[in-house]
Structure 1
Amino acid sequence: MADLVTRADRDGWTLLTLNRPAKLNALTVEMFAELRRHVIDLRHDDAVRCVVLRGAGKCFSAGHDLSAIAEGEGPPSPGWHSETLRMMERLPKPVIAAVHGHCYTGALEVALAADFIVAAADARFGDTHAKWALTPVWGMSQRLPRRVGTATAKRLMFTAGMIDADEAVRIGLAEYAVPSGRFDAEIEALAEGIAANSAFTHAAVKRLLEATDGGPLDAGLQWEVMESEGHGPDMHERIAAFTTRPRSE
């Protein structure tokens, strides 16, 4: 049987792909287990400086597999899905959700656990918990309002409506939208650009933002100074490469 989440290592970055295209990458316990294994492996892989998560086939993911819910699927423990996404969120390297096509409910919860979302022009986002009389347990109630604001999160959650890529960008859910024909090239260029920068800085910045998120400004400013991780082992090399490069006439 094919892997439900595939890993492809590129030059300094890794592409993780939700790989159940015949079912629109609907999420199951088995898929999450594979995603979790990849996250664990990536945490200590210093060769990987950026991670991109996307879906195979027509879309990112249509969300939690409703058939699996109806059959009473059993995760290994309460909160296991949420814990898995938190592990991904806390990877010491940038994680990008590259969303095309459907990204609904559970899939949106997965995308929100990335550092940011880049949307193809055909992307569609929505939270349909209310449509099915469900409540979020993978992080929607916490990450969505932090991303778009409480009132907008309530609107999306109460209406269970769909929004397109442009609206996702407007409300701050996605960072920017890309024409579908250029989506693959844009994601590759973005990941390569991030991977070219300092892995030390990426990890330190993620820890800094995590520690000060939502706190008072003065406390955050003090933390930034007092808890500074300093500079990375490649600082001098990077500066020397810049200052000694040939100057154009």
Structure 2
Amino acid sequence: MSNLLVEISDCIATLTLNRPEVMNALNYDVFKELESAVADLASREDVGCVILCGAGRAFSSGHDLNDIDAGAEADHAEFEAKVLEQLAALPMPTIARVHKYCFTGALELILACDLIFIDEDTRLADTHSKWGLSPVWGMTQRLPRRVGAARAKDMMFSARLVGAQEALAIGLVEKVCAVDSLEEETLAYAREVANNSRYTHRVCKDILNQTDGMALAQGLSYEYANSPGACDDAKERVANFIKNQK
């Protein structure tokens, strides 16, 4: 059975963690399949948005403790971190659709996505300190970029559970949905994204990634020098708009 289900429909790719019997705990095999799926998506022109979600009763409990006990935390860390970098570098927008639980390694996974949507029952946490581990998949860099250094320290030091409304308030997630509408609302948003210009999305993501951490003046200079302005489908989109107004 595949550890990661891949479905592409209506220009939207859905990647589903598929180890529901262990609450989608992340192991090396999951990352191998994720690496393959991300590599395929990176070269596709027919996908306008990617949704990452989990099968069963929770998104993911985090890194599989059996993997850690066997020494895989050290053996595979660089590989898994690179897969998350590849996910973050995808040219199309990515949305993590998270329900119930998202702990530690799973939190590092969704932090590599552009947007995070959760349901109102979701709990998130960084429990590295609970287990005597240190982050190796990007937590120390991606979490403070989302919530600020002090809030990131709070989550890291306390290993406490963060509820849905707090996660929204501190900027950890972008949207909180009712439990029974998370999937529908995420898909509706993804469709809106996929209907917009993929060329524009690629340019915006690239500039955002390249200028992350730059001073404002440097970032502006980079945008002015590297943005094409009108993208490859601009003429067609404007023409269609004008045609429909007549």
Q: Per-residue displacement from partner, 1:37-71 (whole Å, max 9, x unpaired)?
A: 00000000111111000000111100000112112
Counterparts of 2:120 and 2:41, CA distance in 1: 29
The aligned residue for residue 245 of structure 1 is 244
Counterparts of 1:228 and 1:47, CA distance in 2: 22
The aligned residue for residue 3 of structure 1 is 2
The aligned residue for residue 202 of structure 1 is 201
Asked if structure 2 preserves the Cα contact closer than 8 Å seen for 1:12 and 1:47, the reply is yes
Counterparts of 1:11 and 1:60, CA distance in 2: 23
Using a 3 Å threshold, how does the CA distance of structure 1 residues 235 and 82 change in structure 2: closer, same or farther?
A: same
Matches within 5 A, 1:73-222: 73=72, 78-222=77-221
Superposition deviation, residue 75 in structure 1: 7.4
The aligned residue for residue 14 of structure 2 is 15
- 2:48 partner letter: R
Aligned length: 246
Identity %: 43
Q: Per-residue displacement from partner, 1:161-212 (whole Å, max 9, x unpaired)?
A: 0011111000000001000111111011011010000000001000100111
Counterparts of 2:68 and 2:227, CA distance in 1: 45
Gaps of 5+ in 1: none
Asked if structure 1 preserves the Cα contact closer than 8 Å seen for 2:103 and 2:127, the reply is yes
Look up the SS of the partner of 1:79 in the other structure: helix
Q: Per-residue displacement from partner, 1:24-43 (whole Å, max 9, x unpaired)?
A: 00000000100110000000
TM-score by length of 2: 0.97
TM-score by length of 1: 0.96
From the two aligned structures, give the one with the greater helix fraction.
2
- 1:162 partner letter: L
Counterparts of 1:41 and 1:66, CA distance in 2: 29
Q: What is the aligned-residue RMSD (CA, Å)?
A: 1.3
Counterparts of 1:184 and 1:84, CA distance in 2: 25
Asked if structure 1 preserves the Cα contact closer than 8 Å seen for 2:124 and 2:162, the reply is yes
